[in-house]
Amino acid sequence: MLYTTSMGVVRTTYAKCQAMKQILRTLMVKFDERDVFMCFNHQKEIRERMQSDDIDVPQLFVDGHYIGVS
């Protein structure tokens, strides 16, 4: 599961999200993407998973295990 944002106003965050997606595609890794900008439920979900009120993306989870942020 890859949590990203499509909000291009914060360019560095948007660029990191795009780079992470490109890395996964280059490695031919299938992933589900959750855009926290487009869905309040995804924001709530990542807050619960990270146990934090701050949302920092991109965040990557593999089989439920936290991998990290780029």
Mean pLDDT of all residues in 49-70: 91
Q: Which of 65, 1, 2, 6 is nearest to 39 (CA)?
A: 6
In sequence order, what E strands does 1-70 have? 2-4, 33-35, 59-62, 65-68
d(CA 32, CA 53): 22
Q: Look up the pTM and report it.
A: 0.91
What pLDDT sits at residue 70?
60
Residues forming a β-bridge with 3: 34, 59
